[in-house]
Each structure stands twice: as C-alpha cells, then as structure tokens.
Amino acid sequence: MPMTSKALVARLDPRRPWFAEVDRTALRHDLLAGLTNATVVLPQGIAFAIIAGLPPRYGLYTAIVVTLVAAFWGSSRVMVSGPTTAISAVLFATLGALALPGSAEYVALALTLTLMVGALQLAAGLLGAGAIIAFISHSVIIGFTAAAALLIAATQLAPALGLPTQGGDALQRLTGTFSALPDIAPLALSISIGTLAVLLGLGRLDRRIPAYMIALAGAGLLGWAVDAEARGIAMFAPLGVITPAFRAPDLDLAMVMTMIPGAVAIAFVGLLEAISIGRAFAIRREERYDADQEMVGQGLSNMIGSLFQCYAGSGSFTRSGLNAESGARTPLAAIFAAGFLLVLLVLVAPLVRYIPVPAMAAIILHVAWRLVDLAEIRHIIATSRTETVILLATFGTGVISELTFAIMVGAFASLAAFLYQSARPIVAVGAPVTEPGGRRAFANAHLHGLDQCPQISMTRLEGPLFFASVEHVERELRRIDARDGAKTRILSLKGTGKIDLAGADFILKEARRARRMGLGFLLIAANPDIIDVLRRLGVLDALGARNVHAHKSDAIREAVAQARDTVCARCSLRVYHECAGKPGPPAPRAATVRAPASFVQGGTP
C-alpha cells in the first residue's frame, strides 16, 4: 500500500539506521571485507560488461557507483550490489536488436534503459510493493538464470576457442560454433583450459582468494611468454577512462517506448535477485529486513548510476556471500569495496591490454556454469510438480524466445499457480486420537479410517475463504456430507487467514442450510483479525454467541449438548470426552495413532 509522507521521507532520508552500528571493531571488519570484495569484482565487472555487450569499463563504473548507492540506501547489512550475470544477459537480449553491441548508440540506450529500470524500482518501493515479490515463485528465477547461463555460454564459447563470434539466439550461436570446430585455435584453447584450471583449483582452496585476478594474471603472463598477439590471439583493448563521469541519458520518447518491456523485465529480475539475497542473509544473521526499503535502494542506485555511465545492477549472491564470509558488519563494507576498486583500477588498468580474450571468455563460461543451480533444480523436480512446470516454462521460453519474455511467462505461471492453490484450500474432517505418550489431538478421519461421531462433523479449513475459494469449499463440504451423512458441523477457521464478503455470505448460507435440516452449525475462530471481519460482516450476530467459540473444547461441548440423546443412547463410540454426560453404553478404549503433522490439530477433544 502507498507510503505515508512520513514513511516516504524515512525511505529517502540519507541518515540511515545502520550508522549507529559502526564502531571501531565494525570498521576494521568492514575494511578487510571491502578490500577482499574489490579484488573479486574487478575481473567480474569486466566480464559482466562483456556479457551485457558493453565496453569493459562500464561494468567497473557499475561496480563503483551502483554498489555505493545501493549499500547506502538498501536494507541488507551485508548484501553487495553491482553488475550481475542475469541482468547483463537480459540487457544484451533487450538491446542487441536495437543497436550494435559496444557502439556509442548501444551505450546510450543502455544508460537510458538503466534510468527507466531505476525509476520503476523506486516507484515500486515507495508504493510499498515489496510484498508482491513474495508471490513470485523461486522457481522463476532458477529457470530464468539457467536460460541466461545457456545464452551467456553460447556467446562466449566461440571466443574461448579462438573462433569468430557467432550471431543469433542461443541455439543458433551454439550451432554456428559447433560447425566451425575444425578451425579451433590450439593456443586459444590452451589459454582457456589453463584459465579454467586455475579458477577451479583456487576455488577449492578458499573462496576469499581472488581467483579471477590470479587466473587473468596467469593468462596474461602466458600470453606474453608465447607472444600470443603475434600468433593471432585477440587481446583486450585498453580500458580508457577509468573514472565515471556525469552523463545525462538520452530520453528519446520513441526509443523509451520501445524499451519499456525490457525495462520492466530487468527491474523485475533485479528486485527478485536483490530481495531474495537480502532476505536470505537477514534470516541467516537474524537481522531485520525491509523489502520495500531494498527496492528504494535498488531504484536509487540504478537511477543515480545511469547519470554516471553505469548500466543496471542488482544484488550479487557471490559478492554478498564473500562479504559475509569476510566478516562484514555493516553496509560500509560494500562502500569500502567501491572505494578500493577505484584505487585498484588506477593500478591495474594499464595491464588490462595484456589479457587474452580467450582467458576472459573462459572466466565468463565459468560464471555461466556457476549460475546454474543444479542442486536446486533437482530438488524442485523431486518435490513439486507445480514448481517444476513453472521452472520448465521459464527455462524453455528463455531458450526458444527472449529472456525478457521468459520472465513474463514465469511470473504469470507463478501467479496462476498461487491463485489456483489459494482457490483450493484444504477441507478435511478430523477425529480425536490419542498419540503415543497420551497426547490427545485430531487427525484426518478418512485418511486413517478413524471412527467419527454420528452426529458431529469436526471440519477444518486450511486456507483463505474468499470469492475464488468458496465454490471449492462448498463442493468439498457436499462431498463430505454425501460420504458421512449430514451432521451438526463444527467449522474450524484457525487455519484461515482471510475471509471476504463472499466467504462471510457462504458461512451464513451453510448455517441456514444446517438449520433447515434441523442441525447445528458452529465456528471455531481465534484470530482477532478474522473475528473482527466476521463481526463487521454480521456473521457473529447471525450465528449467535453460543455457536462461535475460540477453543475447540468449547465448541465440542456445545455441539455435544445440542446432540440428540436418542442417537447417543444407541452410540457405543463415545468419541469425545463430553460424551460421558450423555446416555448410552460405556466408552470403548480410544484409538491410538501417529498422524502426520499436516493432519494434526493440537488441543484436547
């Protein structure tokens, strides 16, 4: 929901809450973490800019300005923002058809697109849209990143092998590269394999080792030793100006309209990445996390970054994990990383022209491989059919179509699955059982074949009771009545988090139906919000105080009191303790089961 003016000012206030956490110890830890991070992002920034189709220096600008602003105004204490693989791939997919990658026109479009992305993200944060991201399945980002990894690998495979760069989509690039395999340059292949070997070897030792820089340095020395440039190996061009300068994006209306779909996709992907990473580290470190503030931070970082020659960035899981492992305490670590990177650029920039292109291509291939979360993909496929469909829909669309469209398909599939599941809440009948140890609980009567009271149906609803779910709930109740016979119903709403007008009307409809049949209808509701809704919509007055209870035992007591003695006199089940006061034969021994947690409701029947 929209922010109040006071909350809006708090979101944008440069006096951040984490200022109070900075002390001498935190400062020392943040300095060391920042230095470690800067050594990692220097080659990463170059690699990600290449993926985005931009000259390498733009990735470094992004790693300075976007990192600094996002750390300052974001919510996470340890997340580091900057250029990322996924966003770089989407930016390339968005602009590749509009201008020649690397050209001045392409750069201008990238800066304009970044401003659009930042404006969308900032608006979403100020409107309080952070909760909406929670409705998008994690499978969307998993499938999307796998498709992006395939596109990245397809673009870098040819340079790694010393072959001419191929055009087209991922499949066309791969096909073109494989058809040119007889022309592989052996020296390029050797440099690529050597670079990958160094990366993999150092990665096994310690993540804090600047493996990318060491691998590139080794490749540069090898290229110098064998005079690679003279033997036909492409080398990197000098970085040129290494400090970002102010440059207002070109806001051509026609081009802005053309790039809107791409801006929406990049803004969406960036927020998904940042919020997922920030929330994960906040939970791990037991820190407070504000998704809306993070959206504001990401939006400001991209808007301000677009004015200083940066392209769109977001949270980086690799750099954030390294930041946390290096002992970062506050966002100052990311700010220090941006400062140290600027210093490193002054020292290292002249040496970039000695780096062989196959070495950087190998690094990007390594990045693409690490982008694919095989363990999570296997987990999704093994545990959820719905999430598997979402993942495959996103991945498949990204491979055969555009990455921007893949995000839209994944988001739509995710929301459709959420709405479908919300409209089909669990409706189950419980029967009292005695678990090992003497604990009394309710378990699914039909699942375990438990005896039920012939006059009372203890029915529980797990999920929202709103306009989209009413039809499903009514259908399930009629199915229960057809199977068990019409009875006095105790409807437990303890697992119901939302009731709207249609849900309230449905409850009243069920109560009137029960009364026409000479049966009782009782509610169990303890959630203050639900009770307030029922009161405002007139449900409590219509049912009467004796038919609405906060506790299961009170509802059972009332239902048993309303039960017909003539039926109780012939019943030998004595399902509830309260049955002891009714006429009839003595109670048999209670059933003892171990019911699954998903079907058990605690309480004393």
Place 516 in a pLDDT band, splitting at 50, 70 and 90.
very high
Highest mean pLDDT among 91-100, 283-292, 425-434, 574-583: 91-100
Residue 558, C-beta contacts closer than 8 angstroms, at least 6 positions apart: 520, 522, 546, 547, 549
Asked if pLDDT for residue 553 goes beyond 60, the answer is yes
Distances (CA, A) of 331 to 78, 125, 127, 338, 559: 6, 19, 24, 11, 58
Provide the β-strand partners of residue 434. Answer: 440, 592
Phi, psi of 246 (to 5 degrees): -65, 130
The DSSP H or E segment spanning 298 is helix 291-306
- Region 485-502 average pLDDT: 93
- DSSP string of 353-401? GGSBHHHHHHHHHHHHHHHS-HHHHHHHHHH-HHHHHHHHHHHHHHHHS
Q: Please list the alpha-helical segments (H only) found in 401-465.
A: 403-422, 445-448
Out of 219-233, 394-408, 550-564, least confident range: 394-408
What pLDDT is attached to residue 4?
Answer: 67
Place 605 in a pLDDT band, splitting at 50, 70 and 90.
very low
Asked if pLDDT for residue 16 goes beyond 90, the answer is no
What pLDDT is attached to residue 411?
Answer: 84
What pLDDT is attached to residue 379?
Answer: 93
80 versus 148: which is more confidently predicted? 80
What pLDDT is attached to residue 1?
Answer: 46
Asked if pLDDT for residue 512 goes beyond 70, the answer is yes
From the list 205, 155, 192, 208, the residue with the least C-alpha distance to 318 is 208
The answer for 495, left when phi > 0, alpha when psi is -120 to 50, beta otherwise, is alpha
Place 169 in a pLDDT band, splitting at 50, 70 and 90.
low
Contact call for residues 328 and 43 (beta carbons, < 8 A)? no
**Where do we find the tokens 């200083």?**
308
Q: Two tokens at 556? A: 């059972």
Residue 330 and residue 154: Cα distance in Å, rounded?
A: 38
**Where do we find the tokens 């229960």?**
480
Total length of the chain: 605
Q: What is the per-residue burial (b if ≥16 Cβ within 10 Å, else e) of 246-259?
A: eeebeeeeebbeeb
Contact call for residues 136 and 416 (beta carbons, < 8 A)? no
Residue 490, C-beta contacts closer than 8 angstroms, at least 6 positions apart: 456, 457, 458, 459, 522, 523, 524, 552, 555, 556, 559
Report the alpha-carbon angle 510-516-518, nearest 5: 105
509 versus 320: which is more confidently predicted? 509
Q: Please report, as a single letter, which amino acid is at residue 563.
A: A
Asked if pLDDT for residue 83 goes beyond 70, the answer is yes
Contact call for residues 461 and 494 (beta carbons, < 8 A)? no
Residue 96 and residue 91: Cα distance in Å, rounded?
A: 8
| Sheet with 456-462: strands ordered across | 548-549, 521-524, 488-495, 456-462, 426-434, 440-444, 601-602
- The pTM (predicted TM-score) of the whole model is 0.71
Average pLDDT over the chain, rounded to an integer:
86
247-305 confidence digits (pLDDT tens): 888 888 899 999 999 999 899 889 988 988 888 788 778 888 898 999 999 999 999 99
What pLDDT is attached to residue 76?
Answer: 92
- DSSP string of 505-574? HHHHHHHHHHHHTT--EEEE---HHHHHHHHHTTHHHHH-GGGEESSHHHHHHHHHHHS-HHHHTT----
Residue 333, C-beta contacts closer than 8 angstroms, at least 6 positions apart: 29, 30, 31, 33, 34, 37, 71, 78, 80, 323, 326
What pLDDT is attached to residue 575?
Answer: 85
Place 3 in a pLDDT band, splitting at 50, 70 and 90.
low
CB-based burial label for 20 (10 Å; 0-12, 13-18, 19+): exposed
192-235 confidence digits (pLDDT tens): 999 999 988 887 887 677 788 888 889 989 888 988 888 888 88
Residue 149 and residue 145: Cα distance in Å, rounded?
A: 6
- Region 144-164 average pLDDT: 85
Percent share of the chain, pLDDT over 90: 43
571 versus 3: which is more confidently predicted? 571
543 versus 85: which is more confidently predicted? 543
Highest mean pLDDT among 99-113, 124-138, 351-365, 582-596: 99-113
Residue 599 and residue 373: Cα distance in Å, rounded?
A: 33
- Region 507-527 average pLDDT: 94
48-77 confidence digits (pLDDT tens): 899 899 999 999 999 999 999 999 999 999
